[in-house]
Structure 1
């Protein structure tokens, strides 16, 4: 069976992902602050909206910029974005639970949650970790079910922290988002506006594959030779 994908509107990312973000699964873009997570979300949302598709965009960090979106797409395309700002983890839970109805009513073609874990991070502590992790897992289960049932891509972003138990960076939420995400892409900041995207996990593409791209006023494009890591 042929895998269906949605173009990111960025040639290097499409090359990395063999055509774009995969329908029917959760794709998780993670990295440190400034690595380009929100720019990737807005880029893909703009591409889908410009093509006439509709996007459900859940924003937990007030990071979606209509001005940035219009730079890449147009004011008309902005009408295809159904934006929901969430300010606490309970509201995020309610919003994700309500996405199924929105997808059916508005015929949504893409779901974006940026970021999945920022409000989770504010709520979780040593005493309630198991309970909050279960809530996070349920949110991801709901998103995964919507992706499968409606054959649409779900994009989430994930924050990271420095792990002292293991080398390098660890995803906030650790195994919970890793389990539910069928595609994990690590974003890294390079020289100036250049970023690197690297596949950490994918069910059909090789791990370790990576590309560079550049953040410009018009969107995400192939990086110039000057962008070094």
Structure 2
């Protein structure tokens, strides 16, 4: 359903005062509203002068959301959707595709975790280049100002394996198929995702095969310190929206996440246990600097055993 402001166009009761009240509690979308404690929201409404009006709109919004509730689907319908609509996208790296039995699956959120310089961003460039060159639209959300058109050009040239006018045309086509957004906070990220959702739902012929967020942890981690409830709610909202985009529009979603110190100094993926449940697939990266060989290991997958691994080289 997306941002609350879009509902305001259809329901007059959802006015500027209600939107401002919601924003003061970190609620900008229907997803934010759903994960917020409604009883606490009503209690907060009791503290302002127009409390009766606010509580009426809260109840109306709950009723509106109920009308949009999706029907249950049986296992056969889900299986047919998986086999007919959720394809594998080749990463352009043979060892990766073999490990993942074909590549990145549409409908899945795949998380790449690893320490700095473990190859996460380079793999994002590799996948984006291969999909943009051969399959279609890529949305690359860049939180660290690290997107490199030059690197994309190098990868496309290497994959195509040729020179001259023909490869120049392929490079131009691949560049046109990559839509890059620079975002530097979680609110900008949510805005881009909601815009993407709205565009996918309203424009016939607009097709995105791959969404990349490099890195999602740099946007979310600063909000989680000190038991910040709003930060946690925003994190869950991002995860819910990514899963919805992946499933409804048959998109492969890739996010990168850094590592933090855990018990006894061991490294673990950032963002905690709540985020751990968001990605369908979690892959951990490593880098042997002595040999310049990179490694990837499956930490989590819906239908593959954890611990399977592969090595690769980034040219």
TM-score (norm 2): 0.65
Pick from 273, 277, 293 the counterpart of residue 175 of structure 1. Answer: 273
What's the CA shift for 1:118?
A: 0.4
Pick from 210, 215, 223 the counterpart of residue 314 of structure 2. Answer: 215
| 3-state SS of 1:215 partner | coil
| 3-state SS of 2:277 partner | helix
Matched, 1:114 2:197: no
Matched, 1:94 2:194: no
User: What are the ranges of 5 or more consecutive residues in structure 2 without an aligned counterpart?
Assistant: 1-78, 157-170
Q: How many residues align?
A: 214
| 3-state SS of 2:226 partner | coil
> Relative to structure 1, is the Cα distance of residues 204 and 52 closer, same or farther in structure 2, using a 3 angstrom cutoff?
closer
Higher alpha-carbon Rg: 2
| 3-state SS of 1:186 partner | strand
Matched, 1:62 2:157: no
Distance across 2 between alignment mates of 1:167 and 1:126: 21
Pick from 158, 166, 188 the counterpart of residue 286 of structure 2. Answer: 188
Aligned residue in 2 for 1:226: none
Aligned residue in 2 for 1:124: 224
User: Is residue 102–residue 108 contact of structure 1 (8 Å, CA) maintained in 2?
Assistant: no
| 3-state SS of 1:126 partner | helix
More strand by share: 1
Choose between structure 1 and 2 for higher RCO, CA contacts under 8 A separated by at least 6 residues.
1
Distance across 1 between alignment mates of 2:227 and 2:268: 21
Distance across 2 between alignment mates of 1:201 and 1:108: 25
User: Is residue 52–residue 80 contact of structure 1 (8 Å, CA) maintained in 2?
Assistant: no
Aligned residue in 2 for 1:142: 241
| 3-state SS of 2:299 partner | strand
Spell out the pairing of 1:23-102 with structure 2 (5 A cutoff). Answer: 23-73=106-156, 74-102=171-199
Matched, 1:8 2:105: no
| Deviating 4+ runs (over 6 angstroms) | none
What's the CA shift for 1:167?
A: 6.4
Q: 1:52-94 deviations in whole A, cap 9, x for unaligned?
A: 4100111101111100001011233111001000012221222
User: What are the ranges of 5 or more consecutive residues in structure 1 without an aligned counterpart?
Assistant: 217-229
Q: 1:106-156 deviations in whole A, cap 9, x for unaligned?
A: 31111111111102223332152x220110110110010010001111111
Distance across 2 between alignment mates of 1:60 and 1:37: 14
Aligned residue in 2 for 1:219: none
| 3-state SS of 1:109 partner | strand
More helix by share: 2
